[in-house]
Amino acid sequence: MGSLPISPPIAPMLAKLQRELPRGDGWLYEPKWDGFRAIVFVTGKDVYIQSRDKRPFNRYFPELPGALTETLPAECAVDGEIVVAGPKGLEFDLLQLRIHPAESRVRMLAAETPASFVAFDLLAVGERSLMDAPFAARRDELHGLLAGRDGSGVPGPGSTQILLTPRRHARTRGSGRCCWGCTATACCTSWATRRRSARPSASGCAAS
């Protein structure tokens, strides 16, 4: 695809369920979004959205390609999550309705309950593959590329947003609120931690 050194399909780096969150300097903490995992490949104005099981997702989310090309670099591969936000938070049930054979219904739902994309990993940019780079370095570069071009935090209802997932170097506890300042019901349902040294070719995540 264009000048990108990688192309779909690519197996995503998946989390492993854990009873306790890992702790220590070797981990980064993020929300685990209630959505569909997706890897986005952008080459100029062309966008290919790949699902977790390596299938094309474009037809189910017609509102995303335009927003992705406006926000992401012209040549990149970005890992993240597709979510739909409602008045009370993220709505996985609304998201599931998108997987429908009728194009007219998909477009109606895209207008009524638009999806957003939350980015959390950069796999390639331009002619450079980052597949062998540690996660901390990939995440820092993604943050630099999206600085001032994206939103940050929790997607809101009624519009398509391209956001950079917030992160913490350590998990903290609040009173009825998550580490990112939003109410727990309005954002993630659980936590994901990622090894700073993790590479996409091997599992480097833990979920709780």
Task: List residues with catalytic annotation.
Answer: 32
Phi, psi dihedrals of residue 138, rounded to the nearest 5°: -65, -40
Decide if 149 contacts 126 (C-beta within 8 A).
no
CA atoms within a 13 Å half-sphere pointing along the CA-CB vector of 97: 16
Cα distance between residue 129 and residue 135, in whole Å: 13
Phi, psi dihedrals of residue 134, rounded to the nearest 5°: -65, 155
Q: Which residue has the tokens 């300042």?
A: 181
- Token pair of 91 as six digits: 């709505």
Cα distance between residue 69 and residue 56, in whole Å: 17
CB atoms within 10 A of CB 200: 24
Burial of 172 (0-12, 13-18, 19+ CB in 10 A): exposed
